[in-house]
Structure 1
Amino acid sequence: MEEQYRYFLMDLQLFADDGMGEKTEKATPRRREEARKKGQVFKSTDLNSAIILIAGSVASFMAFPYMVNNLKSFTTLYLLQRTQQDFSNDYIYFMLLEVLIIMGKMIFPIFLTTFIVALLITYLQVGFVFSGESLTPKLERLNPVEGFKRIFSKRALVELGKSLLKVIVTGYIVYSVMRKHYILFPRFIDMELIAGLQVLSSIVFEMAMKVGLVFIIIGIADYIFQWYEHEKSLKMSKYEIKQEYKQTEGDPQLKSRQRRIQRDIAMQRMMAEVPKADVVITNPTHFAVVLKYEASKMEAPVVVARGKDFMALKIKEIARMHGVVIVENPVLARTLYYNTEIGDLVPEELYQAVAEVLAFVYKQKKRVV
């Protein structure tokens, strides 16, 4: 009854006021898990790009001396030590291979840093997700109407706004940094190559850091927007929540009916054991416990049926119809009812009391015979 009442209340809540199709409810844990399995997770690519930009800029600035030394060694090797080398096809191939190795050494620290940072920031946003559903071809993507809807959607307008903001911010930062250091550019003519590259790298690093910091702010705002859109897309109608509840918990009405059928079957089986029993112990109106004992097969008498109130009356009625002896013993009936279940042996401490009852029953049967 309690579960049916709870289900009834849920029905009223689900269908009150709001229509079935309105998605006004927060997504359930199951809905979130299903969306995650399909690869529907939210993340900000702008935040990723901003952090990768800063990480790459810092790695480039820190690795700059290492890169210059490698380039210097390579230049010295070919301009001073290998000037007499024959310029054959084999030598060109060997030189090309060395150039690729040197470039790899110079780029590897930057590549490794950005790769690790990209994996880390993506993992922090969405965790570990693997789903091939996003790669599955969908015919609706070829629909021109749906394509126009995507082009002029709120998301597309937001992306356009972000792109314009990035262009304006990047242009302003580049302009302001160039204006700040414009006095240095004419002096590059008099500087040594290494010194000029160091100054130029500092200017570029300053631009990259300022752009990256502004992009992080844009990325955080984009992250909040993506979270809002994701939550909105997962929202469910009250009807969907009801259907999910039925699928996960089972239809309460169906479950109640199944339990009722199971109780009926159990009751029928229990009542079928009463005619085969030896004695029914009652209190005399509220409780009835049915015992059966076969000395050759059982260690002690077994409880084959038990009931209270209406069930007790039904057990006694069947017992009278089949000639099963009914013994009134209120204390023993209550004790057996509260301390045993169907199929249990009589507890050891009740052996004496039950033995006396069975002895009385056997005497009654002998007299009848």
Structure 2
Amino acid sequence: MRFDHDTLPQRVRFASGAAAENLAAEVAALGARRVMVIAATTEQELAHRITDGLPVVHRHDDVVMHVPVEMAERARAEAAAHGTDVLVSIGGGSTTGLAKAVALTTGLPIVAVPTTYAGSEATPVWGLTQDSRKTTGTDPRVLPRAVVYDASLTLTLPAGLSAASGLNALAHCVDSMWAPRTDPINQALAAEGVRALRTGLPLVVKEPDGLQGREQALYGAYLAAVAFASAGSGLHHKICHVLGGMFDLPHAQTHAVVLPHVLAFNGPQAPEAERRLAAAFDAPTANEGLARLRAHLNAPRSLRELGMPEEGVAAAAEAVVAAAPAGNPRAVTLETISGLLQAAWEGTEPR
């Protein structure tokens, strides 16, 4: 056994019902005096409640999926105008992504308070969209200094969206099994993430007002993101970044649709990873385990239902092949990726 593994520096506070207390402790630990709160309009009531008493100088609610460059520039200007010394992001991946875009150019520290299972809060990955093209990269400046997890904050996330967001987290686990920098530690974290998510997500659907399932899902999403942050972006995420940037598709639902097709594509060429995933799913095969979970969650099935035009398949396939990571278990060609995307667009069974 021989590998190099990076463990990212970040504090995690995980406690249901303690978001306000733990957020205040993190802001105090940073010595911050001028807080900029980033939260979408739909999260403003929650944001006001858990930031009450903090030295907030500005509340920014201009949040859009995939972080358009012009939105990032406006947020950076607001941070500078108000003399911000810490960013507090409250919300899902789009909100965290906007905070990262500000930190990328300003170096401001972030304290993230997630309300979905996106996982962006645990990675140094940033993404910006311009002219229908999403550009991603990694930079230690965008990794939040701390994450405040509180499963009670996800109670307002509808069961359907919880399922899609959880499958997005599951995609981090699957990609981490064969991503460019994967190692045994990433794979162990990813396998435990799969176990927690396949246990927690059905409970979220069954008991939307219960905390047990949401805590398991949030825990699994964190493990998934930590594994992904170290292992790097695999084929699945390259595909979803292309689709999101080109067609402005909903992030979590796109991951939920594409994941079974990538697992079926790569799994046979990565038998050890496939066996570990199958064990984590408690199923004969990884594909069967994922199919069972998706059926239980009534997950979205096609890119067509998400609004992608069929004529976009060819252009997307070319962009995916150009962006595909080195070392993918199976050779990535225009023909195979076109077939994968067509099947995902139609919503047919993965081949």
The normalised TM-score by structure 2 is 0.18
Higher helix share: 1
Q: Which has the larger radius of gyration?
A: 1
Tell me which of the two structures has the higher relative contact order, counting C-alpha pairs closer than 8 angstroms and 6 or more residues apart.
1
Higher strand share: 2
